[in-house]
Structure 1
Amino acid sequence: MPLAEIEPVSRESTAAIIARQLREAIMNGSLPPGTQLGETELASQFQVSRGPLREAMQRLVSEGLLRSERHRGLFVIDLEAEDIHDIYSARLAIERAAVLRVLAGDQAAAAERLEEAVREMAEAPDGDGVSEADIRFHEVLVAASGSKRLVRMSRTLLIETRMCLSALRRTYSSEEERVTEHKRITEAIRDGDREAALSLLEAHMEDAVQRLAPGTTLLP
């Protein structure tokens, strides 16, 4: 395409800004699963007309974050046991492949970056900070694989992963438990212990599924 035919990049629309803020609220748990979204209240809160608000909410419907119920309105999606199983099955497949690539490469450098994420978890001032560091740990793990495709696949699960972590944090008696799980995975990677690294990763994912959907089993 000739350069002269390229259109100027437009500024972010009002609908896009609203969609982004609603998306973030869903991810961090400010809008918990099952919450009904009222147009009147949200239009007043955002100080916008209903037009861009409706457009924003339809974007989230198309992304699968909101569901529409006839004669009732729009609701934040509920993560059912089957959804949780699917999310963690996909994550395990991606991160297991990442661990194998990391162990075949510069595992010491990867372990150093993972240790930094674990330190962030340990030093986080609250549960939200721990969850953010938790996300970074897994992003670092996948990025350390050097696979752009694994990174892209992992990012498609980011919103649902954040929703899971928001719910998951309430199941731990202390944040130290979460830190310890990630620390052990890091140590196995630093030691180059393939069996331990994979076993700990699988146990980590299985434990999350059991906490979020009791009675659901991730591994055969």
Structure 2
Amino acid sequence: MQPAQRRGLADEAADRIREEILAGRFQPGSALREVDLAASLQVSRGSVREGLAVLEREGLVQSVWHKGTHVIGLTESDIDEVYAVRAALDRLAATSAAARARTDHLDELDALVDRMAEETDAARVLSLDMEFHEVIYRAANNRRLLDAWHAVRSQVRFFQSHRIRLSRGQYRARAWGEHRELAALIRGGDTERLPGIAEEHVHSARRALVEGLAQPPKS
């Protein structure tokens, strides 16, 4: 890992560790030892401890007394819980955005879909995917809904990053088509079809991840 920059060491430590987790360099369930992280980041163990506390609030790590801190698991139960919460939030966000979105929000969604169509790197498509949903939540104009999304956002990205690694190339094509449909329905204010489509978008992602976990590893 790159050494932490002196801007606020706990936050910087959290950022660096988060990057490693989301990139798959710390595997689900793996131990995160303060002493090793502090040496890698060239900061104190106290800064690492505070950074891990940030990540625990985001749901990316879990700390257990006498067992230390670990990256969250990737079990079907974990997946079902996170995606069930996300499905409910996305349904409300999409319908609220359809009623309240400004023109600049709608244009931003369309622009992100266009960038997805042109992007060849799956990791960058995921970044656009997350940015797309961030715009929807902002367009919904509900601060508490936005806060609820931010509470699960890191976990969603964690699971989606593993979905990409397990999907064997299927993620990019599906992501573009599904987001294009969502953008069109929000722009059209189609509150009849939109709730079901928004939920199915989430459940489709959940199924793809679960199916990927069930497949034998690539040789």
TM-score by length of 2: 0.78
Tell me the distance in 1 between the aligned counterparts of 2:109 and 2:65: 46
Aligned 1:87-166 pairs, distance under 5 A: 87-106=82-101, 110-166=105-161
Does the residue aligned with 2:92 lie in a helix, a strand or coil? helix
What are structure 2's unaligned runs of at least 5 residues?
A: 1-5, 212-219
**Distance verdict in 2 for CA 1:108–1:54, change over 3 Å:** closer
Q: CA deviation at 1:106?
A: 4.9
Identity of aligned residues (%): 33
Structure 2: how far apart are the matches of 1:141 and 1:43? Answer: 37
Please tell me whether the aligned partners of residues 28 and 162 of structure 1 are also in contact (alpha carbons under 8 angstroms). Answer: no
| Equivalent residue for 1:173, pick from 169, 174, 180 | 169
Q: Is the 8 A contact 1:107 1:190 kept in 2?
A: no
SS class of match (2:193) = helix
> Are residues 38 and 168 of structure 1, via their aligned partners in 2, closer, same or farther at CA, if it must alter by over 3 Å?
same
Greater radius of gyration (CA): 1
Match of 1:84 among 79, 87, 90: 79
Instruction: Spell out, residue by residue over 1:92-131, the C-alpha distance to the aligned partner (whole angstroms, 9 max, x if none).
Output: 2222112222333457654322111212222334111111
| Number of equivalences | 204
**In the alignment, what sits opposite 2:210?**
213
Does residue 202 of structure 1 match 2:199?
A: yes
Separation in structure 1 between the aligned mates of residue 85 and residue 107 of structure 2, nearest angstrom: 26
The runs of 5 or more residues in structure 1 that have no matched partner are 1-10, 215-220
CA gap 1:42/1:135 in 2 versus in 1, 3 angstroms: same
SS in 1 for 2:70: strand
